[in-house]
Structure 1
Amino acid sequence: MRVTITSRIFAPEPAAAAYRLSALATALADAGHEVTVLTTRTPAALGRAEAARVRGSGRVRVRRAPVLRDAAGQVRGYVPYLSFDVPLFFRLLFAPRADRIVTEPPPTTGFVVRLAAALRRTPYVYYAADVWSDAAESTGAPRPVVRFVRWLERRALRGAAEVIAVTDGVAERVRELGGHDRVALVPNGVDTEIFTPDGPRLSGPPTAVYAGTTSEWQGADVFVRAMPAVLAAIPDARLVFVGQGSARAELERLASGLAREAIEFRDPVPAAEAATALRSARVGLVSLQPGIGYDFAVPTKLFAAAACGTPVLFAGTGASVAVIESGGIGRAVDHDVADVAGALMAALASEPSPLERRRTAEWVRQHASIAATGAKAALIVERAQ
């Protein structure tokens, strides 16, 4: 079977979408299928060597095309999305015919794939990591924008032969918007061969690491606001952000006024470097702004930290709390500055023991390995009609 995967982001870019689609591509190739990925050129910050390593895969062909990126190197915003989506329509239309197409949000891409798939009479699978129209509404986007995004998203979902949802909450919402029950649950996972307690570690002061996207709806500012209280108790404590996101500029501005010397911002790095940062930390940080429609989410950064043996501190409510408590892989507190400060102090006060790190990492290996989730997603792609 010939499978085409379309996404504006793919390995080696350090993002949940890139990880899960890479795992899916690998699982399909391992099952004997021909896989072609239509994606974008990697940002310059990742380096040509990393991009070449992925392109050189003999089992998965990765076809990259130019795209508009913002100043931070991300494909974010409607014009950058269209700079990928419009050429994608013709790439699909004139490429050798695939037996299946797999696509990711944004809904503009899903809509373009639906059009091209209809013309080529090819079933497609929509990999729904979240619900973009709900996210747009929760962040205060203008009503006409929300209505248009929802219109696109409904059509992308309704035309899909199968929809893969990453949480129960997403699955429920997708059924409502798509108007069908062709929805399968495949939770996010993490690469437990890269994110592992074994490997390089950096020495230094007690550090908390937030590794991944910083968007407004994640509310990572709560960690920045907590740092003055933390520093009063642990003067050499450090907070490190690794990655980009729409909220980064505001986080940097806030940090400069509260704890300039104790908070560091690093650009996105390959997964192995992110793993080193997490492995070297005493706690990995994850947050979700409560009450704006994302309580159902379980961010992949939660599993990435725990897979490195680093306990997680989650600020927020919802599904992530249940995951952390069931696995015993960290602590969840309210999205409140005082609560977060107290939990940070406790986490930074002492280094997790080797036994604790092993146990935390083993739980992720058993319950959230991306190899297992990739294989499960591959079965859904195979059965799509």
Structure 2
Amino acid sequence: MSPLVRIATRTYAPDVGAAPFRLRALARALVAAGCEVEVLTAAPRGPVPPEDPGVRTRRAPVLRDADGAVRGYLPYLSFDVPLTGRLLLGRRPDVVVHEPPPTTGLATRLAGLARRVPYVSYVPDVWSLGAVAAGAPRPVLAALRTAEATALRGAAAVLAVTAGMAEEVVRAGVPRGRVHVVGNGVDVEVFRPAPALAAEPAAPAAPGLRAVYSGTMSEWQGAEVFVRAFAELTRTDPAARLVMVGGGVDAPRLRALAARLAPGAVELPGTVPPERAARLLGEADVALASLVPGSGYDLMAPTKVAAAAACGTPVLFAGTGSGAEVVRGHDLGAVVAHDPAAVAAALRTWPRPDAARRARLRAWAEEHGSLAAAAERAAAVVLRAAGAGGA
């Protein structure tokens, strides 16, 4: 009988974002490796998409915020409290994979103990670090640290997206031999250069600079820096345009700020399908990404960088951390301080990429930013955990 892998996650397709993309890629890689895959997730607000071959998706009602995301303490608990029972039902899996938040990890560990099933923790970020940066109250921070450490220490294996994240997991008390760096990326078949621009080195027809920010907008990203920078940039380049696609807790505030500081120059259409985001990136002169210094998320590997490179578009990164190091170390664009004046100064002299530049960026993404390749590495670890029975 084929191994059965369960994936426990509050967010999955048709949700849009790094987590659902990453987990869907993992599910597909596990099926390709000969597994049966069952995903325990939340019911979407809209239509349920067709299932991938070999993947059974079991959805349950959950609380969502105004943007439709499962985000916040009550929405998390509305998924995680019933999750323990859901994990106890049905055929006994060979292994379970869970995503954050830590409460999902606790539910997975409790059910795993009851059924003697090993589990794997997928760690795109360390939540307790973000809570420290956000100034969470001490009782909340203590509870979060305990929940996170308990979930990670009980895992048969931990999948980290960066080496820095892996070190944080080891510091949390997980034996180094259980921690595996699998990387991250995007679907390079969806995120591709715009055909016309990839073939023609001629300057774009648009008179002003075209910039795109694609992804989550939260206090950690500090995307406000780009709205304020564009308010400065349009004084000398009135035709410059910025499109910021995606959602997040900061999106409503940024929309109001853009209407006040840069009316007509900055557009925030909300979350869009990946294909539209890819088209916007591929047609842009520059992709924007940021991380607030000292936010606690410096170890993250922003998929914005890989998505932009896959579309052949150079990145202007504002801030510090792993994302900045990747952009600087692989010549994917430029890095500046997380400061509106610094961003505006860089954009004023930004060189529009020609076809050769776009091709080099695309080649880097195919080699280093493929989500499918990262999923294959993650699937290999999950299979070893299933075979070892959590030993």
TM-score normalised by the chain length of structure 2 = 0.93
Tell me the CA shift for residue 12 of structure 1: 2.8
- Residue in 2 that maps onto 1:5: 7
Matched to 1:39, the amino acid is T
Tell me the CA shift for residue 43 of structure 1: 3.4
After TM superposition, the structure 1 = structure 2 runs for residues 119-138 of structure 1, keeping only pairs within 5 Å, are 119-138=114-133
Instruction: Provide the rounded CA distance (Å) in 2 between the counterparts of 1:12 and 1:206.
Output: 32
Alignment partner of 2:141 out of 139, 146, 171:
146
Instruction: Provide the rounded CA distance (Å) in 2 between the counterparts of 1:35 and 1:293.
Output: 33
Instruction: Provide the rounded CA distance (Å) in 1 between the counterparts of 2:184 and 2:330.
Output: 15
- Residue in 2 that maps onto 1:197: 193
Q: Which has the higher helix share?
A: 1
The question of 1:184 aligning with 2:180 is answered: yes
The question of 1:34 aligning with 2:36 is answered: yes
Which stretch has the larger CA shift, 282-291 or 263-272? 263-272
Matched to 1:382, the amino acid is L
The question of 1:206 aligning with 2:209 is answered: yes
Instruction: Provide the rounded CA distance (Å) in 2 between the counterparts of 1:290 and 1:105.
Output: 23
Tell me the CA shift for residue 333 of structure 1: 0.8
The question of 1:22 aligning with 2:17 is answered: no
Tell me the CA shift for residue 383 of structure 1: 1.0
SS of 1:216's equivalent? coil
- Residue in 2 that maps onto 1:52: 49
After TM superposition, the structure 1 = structure 2 runs for residues 232-247 of structure 1, keeping only pairs within 5 Å, are 232-247=235-250
Contact 1:23 1:370 in 2 (8 A): yes
The question of 1:340 aligning with 2:353 is answered: no
Contact 2:125 2:299 in 1 (8 A): no
Which stretch has the larger CA shift, 325-334 or 100-109? 325-334
Matched to 1:372, the amino acid is A
Structure 1 residues 374 and 236: CA distance shift in structure 2, 3 A = same
Instruction: Provide the rounded CA distance (Å) in 1 between the counterparts of 2:305 and 2:174.
Output: 31
The question of 1:114 aligning with 2:109 is answered: yes
- Residue in 1 that maps onto 2:319: 316
Instruction: Provide the rounded CA distance (Å) in 1 between the counterparts of 2:138 and 2:123.
Output: 22
Matched to 1:69, the amino acid is R
TM-score normalised by the chain length of structure 1 = 0.94
- Residue in 1 that maps onto 2:201: none
Tell me the CA shift for residue 242 of structure 1: 0.5
- Residue in 1 that maps onto 2:56: 61
Matched to 2:14, the amino acid is P
Tell me the CA shift for residue 199 of structure 1: 5.3
Structure 1 residues 378 and 200: CA distance shift in structure 2, 3 A = farther
Instruction: Provide the rounded CA distance (Å) in 2 between the counterparts of 1:77 and 1:142.
Output: 15
- Residue in 1 that maps onto 2:288: 285
Alignment partner of 1:86 out of 81, 87, 94:
81
- Residue in 2 that maps onto 1:355: 356
Tell me the CA shift for residue 331 of structure 1: 0.9
Matched to 2:31, the amino acid is A
Structure 1 residues 328 and 133: CA distance shift in structure 2, 3 A = same
Instruction: Provide the rounded CA distance (Å) in 2 between the counterparts of 1:16 and 1:2.
Output: 24
Alignment partner of 1:274 out of 263, 277, 299:
277
Instruction: Provide the rounded CA distance (Å) in 2 between the counterparts of 1:279 and 1:62.
Output: 32
- Residue in 1 that maps onto 2:66: 71
Deviations 1:283-329 (CA, angstroms, capped at 9, x unpaired): 11100000222222220111111110111110011222221123211
The question of 1:158 aligning with 2:153 is answered: yes
Work out the number of aligned pairs and report it.
376
- Consecutive unaligned residues in structure 1, runs of 5 or more: none
Structure 1 residues 90 and 335: CA distance shift in structure 2, 3 A = same
Instruction: Provide the rounded CA distance (Å) in 1 between the counterparts of 2:232 and 2:29.
Output: 47
Deviations 1:23-82 (CA, angstroms, capped at 9, x unpaired): 1111110011101111112233xxx2xx423x2x22211222211100111100011001
Matched to 1:174, the amino acid is V
- Residue in 1 that maps onto 2:163: 168
Alignment partner of 1:304 out of 298, 304, 307:
307
Structure 1 residues 279 and 203: CA distance shift in structure 2, 3 A = farther
SS of 1:101's equivalent? strand
Contact 1:4 1:101 in 2 (8 A): yes
Instruction: Provide the rounded CA distance (Å) in 1 between the counterparts of 2:62 and 2:342.
Output: 42
Tell me the CA shift for residue 252 of structure 1: 1.9
Contact 2:194 2:283 in 1 (8 A): no
Contact 1:12 1:270 in 2 (8 A): no
Contact 2:290 2:318 in 1 (8 A): yes
SS of 2:131's equivalent? helix
Which stretch has the larger CA shift, 174-183 or 29-38? 174-183
Contact 2:291 2:321 in 1 (8 A): no
Structure 1 residues 112 and 259: CA distance shift in structure 2, 3 A = same
The question of 1:221 aligning with 2:221 is answered: no
SS of 1:217's equivalent? coil
